[in-house]
């Protein structure tokens, strides 16, 4: 009995120890993985938001530098995500290691219970055999009658001795039989408890094996995600290098265009200087623009081309907007230059081929057809006769020639994309004796 109780006590302590080993280490690891998962989800959100911003920037060539900065940020986010996933994989590695240790411990405990069950079964077998032997002895000797004992005795003294011995033996056998029967019952109960505990341990081991398999599956998914991120990182770096090379080429091309535009503007300035050197009224060598449409040297007879002094919008009633105003601006490569007119566009090239009208009456003093991608492209200059002139550039076609007289509102050409132009639009300049003025001081969209 004492041995059985010791076995049960030892098994209970073993199961308690296993339960402690089973429950303690995994909680901290799980919390760590949850934190990493939250961080990865945050980075996923940042990545998507930055991606949407990049897609918007990629459509606007004037924001290439900003796009490159967003691409750098995207690459950094990918690197951070990869680092987080690597931490997750390491945490899961540690968790799988802990689970394997627990599974091995549980397997050892199952082996121990199997041995204890085998040992208990042997004890039950031995006790059962002893009990059977006692029962056989009781059967063989327990039915001897008093007469048989008397007849087998030599005298009265031996008869009394044998009778007393038989009684004591019978009573002792009965006690031993009862004790053996109780021992067998207790051994069977102990065996049943050990078997039940063994099933509990097996169930815990199955649960731990399931957790380990789930962790391994999660680890495989993370490894795939990490591979995808590494591919994405490599592609982003490659694309960045390509984009930087393209930007360098674009910068060189833009510098070339800017140089050509500066040369074209210098030629226009030289043209104005030469033109007004021969047409500037006597006594008015330094005219000052007042934006009113009349010259300070006016004789009171009004415009020599018989035009009114008001200004018209060059695109009539077409739906359009001013895409670039007069003054400093930031072109596609990020270097600042000065815009000496206004650009009028319609979006998505919708204005291409639309009529261009003279903003005031006057005489055509320049009419150039140039389809190259340099300078002003095809343009027309009209002298309004009071020191003011208007220039219409980047047209697809012109309908007037030098020397022609036009009235305000006459069609002089069509909107185009010639010269240094990033899309169909009209470039309009207003000058006073060659001095560049803000056209929006004189014209306004109806």
387-408 pLDDT per residue, tens = 999 999 999 999 999 999 999 9
Domain extent listing, the chain: 2-252, 304-441
Residues 225 and 127 sit within 8 Å (Cβ to Cβ): no
- In this prediction, residue 127 carries a pLDDT of 75
DSSP string, 24-93: TTHHHHHHHHHHHHHHHHHHHHHHHHHHHHHHHHHT-GGGHHHHHHHHHHHHHHHHHHHHHHHHHHHHHH
Judge if 2-252 and 304-441 fold alike in CATH terms: no
Fold of 2-252: Helix Hairpins (1.10.287)
Gap between the Cα atoms of 112 and 60, Å rounded: 73
Integer-rounded Cα radius of gyration of the chain = 53
Report angle CA 354, 62, 373 to the nearest 5 degrees.
50
Task: Label residue 43 by pLDDT band (50, 70, 90).
Answer: low
DSSP element (H, E) containing 432: strand 426-432
Does domain 304-441 bear CATH number 3.40.50.12280?
no
Instruction: Evaluate if residue 428 carries a pLDDT over 90.
Output: yes
Q: Which residue has the higher pLDDT, 298 or 402?
A: 402
Gap between the Cα atoms of 230 and 237, Å rounded: 11
User: What percent of the chain clears pLDDT 70, i.e. is strictly above it?
Assistant: 66
Task: Label residue 366 by pLDDT band (50, 70, 90).
Answer: very high
Q: Is 427 helix (H, G, I), strand (E, B) or coil?
A: strand
Gap between the Cα atoms of 154 and 151, Å rounded: 8
Task: Label residue 334 by pLDDT band (50, 70, 90).
Answer: very low
Mean pLDDT of 354-366: 95
Q: Which residue has the higher pLDDT, 153 or 319?
A: 319
Instruction: Evaluate if residue 317 carries a pLDDT over 70.
Output: yes
- In this prediction, residue 52 carries a pLDDT of 67
Q: How far, in Å, are 7, 39, 53, 178, 265 from residue 181 at the CA level? A: 20, 66, 85, 5, 121
Q: What are phi and psi of 170, to 5 degrees?
A: -65, -45
* Residue that has been written with the tokens 């031996």 in this structure: 158
Closest CA to 222 of 36, 75, 45: 36
- Worst-scoring range by mean pLDDT, 20-24, 86-90, 267-271? 20-24
Q: Which residue has the higher pLDDT, 216 or 305?
A: 216
Mean pLDDT of 261-278: 84
Instruction: Evaluate if residue 429 carries a pLDDT over 80.
Output: yes
Instruction: Evaluate if residue 329 carries a pLDDT over 50.
Output: yes
Residues 21 and 102 sit within 8 Å (Cβ to Cβ): yes
């Amino acid at each position: 009995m004492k041995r059985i109780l010791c076995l049960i006590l030892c098994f209970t302590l073993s199961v308690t120890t296993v339960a402690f080993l089973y429950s303690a280490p995994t909680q901290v690891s799980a919390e760590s993985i949850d934190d990493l998962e939250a961080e990865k989800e945050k980075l996923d959100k940042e990545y998507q938001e930055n991606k949407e911003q990049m897609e918007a920037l990629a459509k606007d060539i004037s924001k290439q530098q900003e796009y490159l900065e967003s691409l750098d940020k995207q690459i950094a986010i990918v690197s951070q995500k990869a680092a987080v996933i690597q931490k997750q994989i390491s945490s899961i590695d540690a968790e799988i290691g802990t689970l394997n240790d627990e599974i091995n411990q549980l397997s050892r405990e199952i082996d121990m219970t199997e041995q204890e069950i085998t040992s208990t079964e042997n004890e039950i077998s031995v006790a059962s055999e002893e009990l059977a032997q006692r029962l056989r002895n009781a059967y063989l000797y327990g039915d001897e009658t008093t007469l048989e004992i008397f007849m087998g005795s030599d005298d009265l003294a031996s008869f009394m001795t044998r009778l007393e011995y038989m009684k004591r033996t019978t009573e002792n056998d009965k006690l031993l039989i009862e004790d053996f029967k109780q021992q067998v019952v207790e051994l069977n109960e102990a065996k049943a408890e050990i078997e039940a505990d063994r099933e509990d341990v097996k169930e815990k081991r199955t649960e731990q094996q399931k957790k380990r398999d789930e962790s391994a599956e999660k680890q495989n998914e993370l490894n795939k995600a990490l591979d995808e991120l590494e591919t994405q990182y490599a592609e982003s770096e490659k694309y960045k290098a390509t984009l930087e090379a393209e930007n360098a080429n674009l910068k060189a091309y833009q510098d070339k265009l800017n140089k050509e535009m500066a040369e074209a503007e210098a030629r226009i300035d030289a043209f104005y200087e030469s033109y007004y050197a021969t047409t500037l009224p006597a006594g008015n060598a330094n005219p000052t623009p007042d934006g009113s449409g009349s010259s300070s040297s006016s004789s009171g007879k009004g415009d020599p081309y018989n035009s009114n002094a008001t200004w018209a919008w060059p695109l009539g009633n077409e739906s359009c907007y001013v895409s670039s105003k007069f003054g400093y601006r930031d072109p596609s490569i990020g270097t600042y230059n000065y815009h000496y007119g206004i650009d009028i566009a319609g979006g998505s090239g919708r204005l291409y081929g639309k009529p261009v009208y003279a903003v005031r009456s006057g005489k055509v003093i320049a009419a150039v057809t140039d389809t190259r991608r340099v300078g002003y492209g095809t343009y027309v200059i009209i002298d309004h006769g009071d020191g003011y002139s208007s220039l219409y550039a980047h047209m697809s076609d012109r309908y007037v020639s030098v020397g022609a007289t036009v009235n305000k509102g006459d069609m002089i050409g069509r909107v185009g994309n010639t010269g240094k132009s990033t899309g169909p639009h009209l470039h309009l300049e207003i000058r006073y004796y060659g001095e560049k003025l803000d056209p929006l001081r004189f014209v306004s969209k109806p």
